[in-house]
Each structure stands twice: as structure tokens, then as C-alpha cells.
Amino acid sequence: MYQRLSAVLFPIMTLFLIGSVYWGYQEHQDKNSILIKAENQYQRAFHELSYDMDQLHNQLGHTLAVNSTSQGYHRKSLVNVWRLTSDAQSKINQLPLTMLPFNQTEDFLAHIASFTYRTAVRDLTKEPLTEKEYETMKSLYEKSEDISKDLKMMQSKVLQNNLRWMDVEVAIASEQAARDNTIIDGFKTVDKKVEEYPEINWGPSVSAMFEKRSVNMLDGNLVTAKEVQAKAADFFGIRDASKIKVTQNGKGTEYTSFSATVPTDHGNLQMDFTQKGGKLIWFMDPRDIGPKKVGAKAAEKNALQFLDKHGYPGMTAVNYDGYDNVGNFTFVAKQNDVLIYPEKLTVKVAMDKGEAVGLQAADYVYEHHKRDIPKPKLTVEEARKVLNPEFKLIKEQKALIKNELSEEVLCYEFMGRINGHYYRIYVNSDTGIEESIEQLPGMNGKRASSEP
């Protein structure tokens, strides 16, 4: 009996064993294939990064080599520098450097990209390169040479020693980057050098692009945690402010703010206030939201009442986006019948009861001030001629926006439909140039807050 049983089971077990060995072999092969593919991708990105930085250095040299009156070549060369910088940034993003401090070099490349793009898009025949911009490019030429040489040195070591990028990824993931690793040490060296570069004059437009918001931009006195506690209590109509917990963020820095936590039956309400002036920049009620019972019109009306009550009067709804029983309304300020887009904020409304459960007002808080709005040189009829003849106009009004150079420009805002979609087209009220075009999501045959 045992002989018969073994005679039956032995072949079956043998097949299982062979199958498991084959399956293990296949798994091993697939894993190796994935690892080889990842390694090849990392190697390609790194060597292309080194090539891009070398070409970037050469292209900056070409720009400086030609006559100062060669605006046509300057424009073409600056566009090439911007393209190469963008390529280099893309290659960095493809490398396993997320946990490695390489932010100084990435920031440096971002500034180069912004500087060259913003210089190239302007009319160089009317606004040629200035002496300061030439000095900036000379500085970029020298610094890019340093980075290129260091990357070439790393590239040589990688090729000579057959170094693997997968080892870098493993070292970073296992937090063993402190060990001797040629690639990791090389990138740290490059980043350290960039950090020690003297301050470069990028010009006002680029500097504004990277300027961080701080309390120095605000009006008012510095508030205390006690005052923030009182403000939070007043916001929610709470008599006993002692239940509200207030914590200070970034103490001793120019980015100091306060966070207030208000306990309720359905969770903690969260708020953030600026230290200077005690202005509310963020609010969130995490309560569960039931089925939708309120329409967009009623929700927008409730959002406006909420803003009026809490110190944001005269706001105009410009966009509505609804999902998961929640409506997100974007509002902007208005001055002299001109929409001020830099002063925007967003209100989150729960569509079960139509009440505001969230507010994001940082843009409004930091950008809100009285402006001297110039008179447009073009009439709305003249600006309208710029539009595509097939553009079906729905609404037009004046709006102040920030252009690609982070400059505030007065425009005519035309909202309409073309190619089955709704768009806002912003035409410069002085030049007649389309400064910006925005496609409005979720409006195909549906109502938008700014639509009449």
C-alpha cells in the first residue's frame, strides 16, 4: 500500500519541486531584469546630466562671446540655455537623490532657468541686455564651469570603477549614506560648493519669483499666543477661550506663525494665524460631510456671507469646483470694478448643510493692499479684436493679473467658449497681447460661479 502511495505521490512531488524551482528562477530573472533596467536608467540620466551641464557652460560662453548689439543671437542663445537648464533639472529628478541634500544646486539651476527665460521672452531690440545682466551671465559662466568639472570628475570615477547607482539607492534608503560612497560624496561636494557661491544679482523679476513670504510684508503689530487664542474663540463664537490650544511655529524667524486647535465633538478645528497682525491664513473643519443637499448657488451665497462676517468683504467668485459633496469656491478682491487676481482665496463648502468648512487665504493676506490702477490705453472693443473669430464671448471685464515676469498688468478678461470648452483669455489693456489663457474645468454645459 505504501509502495502504491509513494508511486503516486513521488511524481507529483517531483513536479511540484520542479515547478517551484522554475518559478523561483523566473522570479529571480524578472527581478534582475528590473534592477538592470533601473540601473541603466540611472546611468543614462547621470551621464546626460553631465553632458547638459557642459553644454550649458558652453552656451553661456557663446552668449558672452558675441557683440553686445547681437540681440537676435542673444535671444536664441538664452533660449538654448533655458532648454539645457530644464533638461538638467529633468535628469536630476530621474536620479535617486530625494533623500540626498542637493537642493542648493537644484535651486541654482531653477534661478538660471528663470533668469534666461524671462530675459529671452522680452523684446531685446527695445530692452537689450543691461550691464548688470552681463555681469550675472559672467558669474553663471564661471559657476557652471565648476559644476561641470565636478560632474565630469564623478563621471570618470563611475566609469573607471564600474560604480552602480543601485548601490546609491540602497545606501540612501537604508540611511547608510554617511559611509564612503563616491557618487554620494561627489553630489554633496557639488552642492556644498554651490551653497558657498557669493550672492548673484538675478534682477528684480527673478528675485520676486523666488521671494519667500514673511511677516515683514504685513501690516500691524506682533500678536501673542493669548491674542490668537482670543481671535480663534471669536471666530467660532466660543466663550471659554482656555480650551483652545495655541502653538507657535518657526519661533525666532521671520516666518513665525501660530496654529490654533479648537476641540469639538466631531474633531479638532485647525487654524493658522500670522504673527504680525494676527491675520487668519488657513482654517479647516474636519467633520464628516453627508449627502449633497445644497446647490452651487446657495453654497456660493453662504461662502460670501462667511467671508463678509470674517473680514473679507466685497469678494467676487471666479471659479467653482465640486467633488465628493464638497464645493470649492475661488474668490478674488475687487477695486474700482477691476478683479484683483493676486488677492485670491478659496472657501471650502460642505454641500450637505451649505456651511463653510475650510478657508485658504494666504494669497489674499500677503497681497492685499490699495493699488493705483492705471487707465487702459486700449478700449474693450479694440482688445476684443484680438480674440479668435470663433470664440463665443459670454462675459468681459477688467482684471489685474501677474504675468510671466511676476509683474502686475491690467488686462481685459474675456470669458467664452471655443472647441467645446470654456476659457478665460486675458488681453493686456495696453499692448493687446494675450497675457494668459485659462481653461475652465467642469464647465461643459454646466454653470460656473462667474458665468451670468
Q: What is the pLDDT of residues 211-250, one digit of tens each?
A: 555 555 567 678 888 998 998 888 888 888 888 898 887 7
Residue 46 half-sphere exposure toward CB, CA atoms < 13 A: 28
The per-residue pLDDT for 30 is 53
* Cα–Cα distance, 415 to 402 (Å, whole number): 18
Confidence bin at 307 (pLDDT 50/70/90): very high
Which SS3 state, helix, strand or coil, does residue 348 take? strand
Cα 359 to Cα 346: distance, rounded to the nearest angstrom = 6
Judge contact between 194 and 147, C-beta under 8 A.
yes
Residue 179 is inside which H or E element, if any?
none
Among residues 404, 365, 364, the alpha carbon closest in space to that of 117 is found at 404
Mutual angle of helices 2-65 and 131-160, in 10-degree steps: 150
Measure CA 75 to chain center: 27
Residue 377, pLDDT score = 94
The C-alpha angle 407, 411, 413, rounded to 5 degrees, equals 130
Q: What angle do CA 382, 387, 393 make, to 5 degrees?
A: 100
- Out of 51-55, 93-97, 362-366, which region has the weakest mean confidence (pLDDT)? 93-97
| Cell numbers placing 199 | 550672492
Q: What is the DSSP letter of 415?
A: E
Mean pLDDT over residues 10-15, rounded?
A: 61
Q: Give the distance between the most distant pair of CA atoms in the chain.
A: 105
Residue 327: closest CA among 449, 199, 187: 449
**Where is 430: in which H helix or E strand?**
none
Residue 433 pLDDT greater than 70, yes or no: yes
What letter would DSSP give residue 222? Answer: B
How far apart CA 299 and CA 282 sit, in angstroms, is: 19
Pairing of strands 421-428, 408-418: antiparallel
Q: Are strands 392-402 and 338-350 parallel, antiparallel or unpaired?
A: parallel
Contact by Cβ (8 Å): 103, 191: yes
Q: Give, in degrees to the nearest 5, the angle at Cα 395 between 407 and 445.
A: 115
Domain ranges in the chain?
A: 2-210, 218-367, 380-440
- Residue 194's nearest CA partner among 133, 103, 132, 114 is 103
156: which 3 cell numbers? 570618470
Round the average pLDDT of the chain to a whole number and report it.
79
Query: Minimum mean pLDDT among 57-66, 162-171, 263-272: which range?
Result: 162-171
Specify whether the CB–CB gap between 326 and 284 falls below 8 A.
no
Selected residue with higher pLDDT from 414 and 324: 414
Listed in sequence order, the DSSP H helices in 66-102 are: 71-93
More confident residue, 180 or 244: 244
Residues 59-79, mean pLDDT to the nearest whole number: 82
Find the mean pLDDT for residues 58-72: 82
How many residues are listed for the chain in this entry?
A: 452
Share of the chain above pLDDT 90, in %: 21
Beta-bridge mates of residue 260: 246, 271
CA-to-CA distance for 427 and 415, rounded, in angstroms?
11
pTM of structure = 0.62
Report the pLDDT value the prediction gives residue 40, as an integer from 0 to 100: 77
**Per-residue pLDDT averaged across 38-46, rounded?**
78
